[in-house]
């Protein structure tokens, strides 16, 4: 079982993993290398969902470790969740979106759902009987999420939803969707409410998978809501509180994107280190040349700085500190920028080989790019940080 927040509280004060966290890392790394890594290139090449990863993660209760014990979950703390995502992303970024997006999609239920909704949806998630996705963005509402047009109209004991959600990770595979919709157009963000929509609800359908640069194994689709009629008790919190729930969710889950970035960067650095130790030019390993050593040093330095910031943010997420918004944005922004730099340098260190699909670093570079974009672009993260300076 992943460590709980209570058992690791003292270590959180120092932003340092406990012995339990270290054991968790070792077990997830071993599982990832044995059950997920062998399929990573194939998943990317074929653009298919990494079912092998889902099976392995669910078999070991690592697919949604954040779910509280009261609902059948591991009750893992925020740092344990980060470690799981980081270690999976080290071998396959697409697969790491299984635990990451399960948290993103279900955290609004944890934060704002009624006890009945928590029992109804968190239990099956913890048991591996269904995945969760998060529906906020729309064709004309990306960074300006408050400009969404999807509507939810009250009709007796039900709400009827109509609209389109875009860029929805794991859409079509997930069974449950947290959907933000406008219930009062005159109140802008304070007129947005949150609902749980099920894949099998009448009127729910999906667009074709997007053809993406990276994370090709994680399907990204539009979600169409055509007169989707759902019980009113599937609303999360009170009417008009959905946008606040969405933003509160992102404060916590941007850290999971930082974790994904860490994992991608670590995988690229590990591979590059091994390569330069074996590749010989001018009669000696290229890793003996100072220019190469300096590149590796910079890569490792940036990665460790990103890791410390991400773990600090995870500690603040667990405690729900007042400066969480700043730290969540900072961790996501810094770690993803670092991952893009580190993976690009890894490609450079492999030379021509790094540019081919016979080696994994070009995939890692492509995968790293999305971490600078989703859950708020890094330009938006800087706006968030500037508005919430500690």
Closest CA to 90 of 359, 361, 384: 361
Non-local CB neighbours of 110 within 8 Å, separated by 6+ positions = 66, 67, 68, 118, 122
Cα–Cα distance, 113 to 384 (Å, whole number): 26
- Apex CA 176: angle with CA 171 and CA 180, to 5°? 80
Coil vs helix vs strand at 156: coil
- Apex CA 127: angle with CA 371 and CA 244, to 5°? 50
Residues annotated as catalytic (active site), given as ranges: 375
CA distances from 25 to 88, 107, 365, 377 (A): 10, 23, 23, 29
CA distances from 282 to 113, 278, 293, 317 (A): 64, 13, 16, 50
161 and 180 in contact (C-beta within 8 Å)? Answer: no
Determine the straight-line distance between the first and last CA of the chain, rounded to whole angstroms.
35
Cα–Cα distance, 257 to 149 (Å, whole number): 26
Cα–Cα distance, 14 to 241 (Å, whole number): 34
What would the DSSP string read from start to end of 67-98? S-GGGTS--B-HHHHHHHHHHHHTT-HHHHHH
């Amino acid at each position: 079982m992943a460590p709980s927040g209570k058992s690791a509280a003292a270590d959180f004060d120092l932003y340092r993993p406990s012995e339990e966290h270290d054991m968790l890392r070792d077990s997830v790394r071993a599982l990832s290398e044995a059950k997920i890594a062998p399929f990573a290139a194939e998943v990317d090449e074929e653009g298919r969902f990494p079912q092998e990863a889902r099976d392995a993660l669910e078999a070991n209760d690592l697919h949604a470790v954040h779910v509280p014990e009261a609902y059948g979950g591991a009750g893992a703390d925020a740092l344990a969740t980060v470690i799981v995502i980081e270690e999976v992303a080290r071998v396959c970024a697409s697969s790491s979106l299984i635990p990451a997006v399960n948290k993103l999609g279900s955290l609004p239920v944890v934060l704002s759902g009624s006890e009945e909704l928590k029992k109804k949806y968190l239990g099956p998630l913890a048991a591996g009987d269904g995945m969760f996705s998060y529906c906020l963005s729309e064709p004309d509402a990306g960074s300006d999420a408050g400009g969404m047009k999807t509507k939810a109209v009250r009709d007796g004991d039900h709400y009827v939803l109509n609209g389109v959600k875009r860029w929805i990770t794991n859409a079509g595979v997930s069974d449950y969707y947290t959907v933000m919709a406008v219930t009062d157009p005159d109140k802008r963000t304070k007129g947005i409410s949150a609902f749980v929509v099920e894949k099998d609800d009448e009127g729910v359908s999906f667009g074709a998978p997007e053809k993406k640069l990276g994370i090709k194994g994680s399907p990204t689709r539009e979600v169409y809501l055509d007169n989707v009629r759902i019980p009113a008790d599937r609303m999360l919190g009170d009417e008009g509180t959905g946008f606040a729930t969405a933003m509160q969710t992102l404060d916590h889950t941007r850290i999971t994107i930082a974790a994904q970035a860490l994992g991608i960067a670590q995988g690229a650095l590990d591979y590059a280190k091994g390569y330069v130790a074996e590749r010989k030019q001018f009669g000696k390993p290229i890793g003996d040349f100072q220019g190469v050593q300096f590149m590796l040093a910079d890569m490792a330095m940036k990665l460790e700085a990103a890791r410390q910031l991400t773990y600090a943010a995870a500690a603040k997420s667990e405690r729900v500190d007042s400066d969480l918004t700043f730290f969540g944005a900072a961790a996501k922004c810094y770690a993803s920028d670092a991952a893009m730099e580190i993976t690009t340098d890894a490609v450079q260190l492999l030379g021509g080989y790094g540019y081919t699909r016979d080696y994994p670093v070009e995939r890692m570079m492509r995968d790293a790019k999305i971490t600078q974009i989703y859950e708020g672009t890094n330009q938006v993260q800087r706006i968030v940080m500037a508005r919430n300076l500690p």
